Amino acid sequence: MAASIDALTSSTLKCLREGWWNDDFTEFLTETLRPRPGNRILDVGCGEGTAEVRIARLHVSQIRLIGVDLMIERVMVARHQTAAHNQRVGFTTADACHLPFRDDVFDSTFCVAVLQHIGDVDAAVGEFARVTTAGGRVLAVEPDNRARYWYSATAAGVKAFEMSARFFAALAAARGDVTDAAVGPRLPALFARHGIEPLDVRLFPVSQTRLGMPPGAVWARRRASVEHAIEQAPTEAVRALGREYLGVLTAYAAEATNAGSAFVEIQNTMLFATVGQKTG
């Protein structure tokens, strides 16, 4: 699975959920969930309805797709997207840790890049188990946000990566972000704790390679993203760190320009797709 990622604008994959989807991933999703006529399938953290649109295009008759998301704005977009494709899908706002459904009602439950946003992952997985029928599939696809590979051909590039990690970590701490950065590889143990037998773990690399000097738009986007983060920072200490980071970015852009065709930048991280089956 290929997607555009940039550790210099975010130390996690939290902002890239929609960019992960391609045909191969949709095929994996449907093979795992095994939709059959009459099935009820729940998407926790549906975002803007990407999964619903892609699954519905498979034309499996009489399946019932339900998507929930914490943000009403995303639910409204998802409703519009599926309506535009003439698809019958149900959406509602809900907290993953308190799903508004009775026990044992869904044949499959899945989430993609959702648990990395949640402080109480244990409670969310418990809810997945509760609403899924015995023998039903549960799928969670999450990254290990602590394991980011970075290579740059310039010294300023190495420093920029180090500064980005410091700045975004300080920003998260100042905001009280207590989410689990390494939730992806922990999922099999969490599944087992809640009566979901782990069946498989599939790894999906998410990577990007730049050869030759990146265009000006790349640097402008990076600066704009960091400037926005600085504006949102709750303390002067974090804002000062952000301004220091902007200086390093400027130096990195200059070194990349000087390197010309010899410039290279490589990024990679990993998604862990854990498949489980609820025990009887």
Question: pLDDT digit string (tens) for 176-203?
Answer: 887 888 899 999 999 999 999 999 999 9
78 pLDDT band, cuts 50/70/90, is confident
Q: What is the pLDDT of residues 252-270, one digit of tens each?
A: 999 999 999 999 999 988 8
Q: What is the pLDDT of residues 110-164, one digit of tens each?
A: 998 899 989 899 999 999 999 999 999 999 999 888 888 999 999 999 999 999 9
* pLDDT surpassing 70 at residue 279: yes
Query: DSSP secondary structure string, the chain?
Result: ------TTT-SSSTT-TGGG--HHHHHHHHHHH---TT-EEEEET-TTTHHHHHHHTT--TT-EEEEEES-HHHHHHHHHHHHHTT---EEEE-BTTB-SS-TT-EEEEEEES-GGG-S-HHHHHHHHHHHEEEEEEEEEEEE-TT--EEEESSHHHHHHHHHHHHHHHHHHHHHT----TTHHHHHHHHHHHTTEEEEEEEEEEEEEEEESPPPHHHHHHHHHHHHHHHHH-SSHHHHHHHHHHHHHHHHHHHHHHHHGGG-EEEEEEEEEEEEEEE--
Fold of 18-143+179-204+271-278: Rossmann fold (3.40.50)
* pLDDT surpassing 70 at residue 3: no
pTM of the model: 0.86
Q: What is the pLDDT of residues 23-74, one digit of tens each?
A: 778 888 888 988 888 889 999 998 888 888 877 777 666 788 899 999 899 8
Residue extent(s) of CATH 3.40.50.150 domains in the chain: 18-143+179-204+271-278
The more confidently predicted of residues 104 and 180 is 104
* pLDDT surpassing 70 at residue 14: no
